[in-house]
Amino acid sequence: MSEIILTIDGVDPLDLYGRNNSKLNLLKKAFPDLTITSRGQNLKLSGERKDTQKAKARIESMVNMLKQNIDLTEQSVMDLLEGHNPYEVAAEDLKKAGKVIVHGRNGRPIKAKTKNQRQMVEKSESNDVVFAIGPAGTGKTYTAVALAVRALKNKLVKKIILTRPAVEAGESLGFLPGDLKDKVDPYLRPLYDALDDMIPSDKLDYFMTNRVIEVAPLAFMRGRTLDNAFIILDEAQNCTTTQIKMFLTRLGPSAKCIVTGDLSQIDLPGHQKSGLFRALDILSDINGIGRVRLSADDVVRHRLVKDIILKYDESDRERRARFENKAEEE
């Protein structure tokens, strides 16, 4: 038997253990034969020597990540426990210029947290139009908004335009209470939330009032020329082919654009097809248009979101297989 007492110095135990000990519980689950006890700054490991040494190495890596100001998410802990080394990967990324996309409120650095989010940043820097496709929780919209805010702060553009189709789960705007702004604001709330995380409230109010930052439904883009602007079309899976074509042909010569979408969450009425499928197909070989595919591995929300996405993907594959087998039998 072996016993190790680690003293946690230089980091906040809450950051290390997680709220309600969520990260510590992941550690305990990964080492079921160990007794792991936390008391303030001390962490006691009891069990077989090989297990205590292995757990000690994992904990030291977690502490080092926090000391390097690297986000220690539950997903990072899971990756670490599965044998990956997110500390070394993230530490190497920190050395690269431009790793921090932008500094948000209170100076908090906003960074790409996954490989495909970093690819989004790189694609946006080398292309004027980027399609970022992936499931919920992968940071598509948040990363896109961060890139737009960076471009505005660096005076690469004069304004930010954020837009979404006003289609959600079959709801109709006409049945919602209030004036037009009241009707469409719920659809645009995720964009407001991302902006609020990156720009002080007084400055954001100024930008919104003076239309330096504009958040509007996609229908409001018709007939306009969008230039000297960073434009984000969010939830593009709910656009028809006509709508996506209308949007993309609004772009002026000095515009940059990111189109985000989740092809597994199409809320269009049954008789309408998503225009995002066709756009990805016919625009893929145009120079200046980039494409990034995000997956469950890029999920930065609750750790269960990744498992939920994988289960739905597995179920969808099984349903398609049954449908194809039935069609062959007939």
Mean pLDDT of 325-330: 61
Higher pLDDT pick, 188 / 125 = 125
Dump pLDDT digits (tens) for 233-254.
999 999 989 999 999 999 999 8
pLDDT score, position 328: 60
Q: Which two tokens stand for residue 63?
A: 């502490």
Say what the pLDDT of residue 12 is.
83
pLDDT of the residue at 256: 94
Express each pLDDT in 199-214 by its tens digit: 888 899 999 899 999 8
Q: Which residue has the higher pLDDT, 105 or 125?
A: 125
Which amino acid does the sequence have at 259? V
Residue 302 has pLDDT above 50, yes or no: yes
Whether residue 176 has pLDDT greater than 50: no
Tell me which fold the domain 100-299 belongs to: Rossmann fold (3.40.50)
Query: pLDDT category, 165, cuts 50, 70, 90?
Result: confident
Q: Are 101 and 143 in contact (CB under 8 A)?
A: yes
Quick one: CA dihedral 234, 240, 241, 247, positive or negative?
negative
Q: Is the pLDDT assigned to residue 103 strictly greater than 50? A: yes
Q: Judge contact between 126 and 289, C-beta under 8 A.
A: no
**Position 269 pLDDT exceeds 80:** no
Rounded to whole angstroms, the Cα distance separating 259 from 251 reads 12
pLDDT at 92 over 80: no
pLDDT of residue 170: 42
For the segment 132-142, the average pLDDT, to the nearest whole number, is: 89
Using CA atoms, how far apart are residues 167 and 275, in angstroms rounded to an integer? 14
Strand, helix or coil for residue 203: helix
For 26, the token pair is 């992941």
Q: What's the pLDDT at 193?
A: 86
- What pTM value is reported for the model? 0.63
- Per domain, the residue ranges of the chain are 2-91, 100-299
Closest by Cα among 18, 143, 160 to 76? 18
Look at residue 129 in the predicted model and tell me its pLDDT. Answer: 95
Structural class in CATH, domain 2-91: alpha beta
Q: Which residues, 6 or more positions from 310, have their beta carbon under 8 angstroms from its beta carbon?
A: 296
- What pLDDT, on a 0 to 100 scale, did the predictor assign at position 132? 94
State residue 300's pLDDT score.
Answer: 66
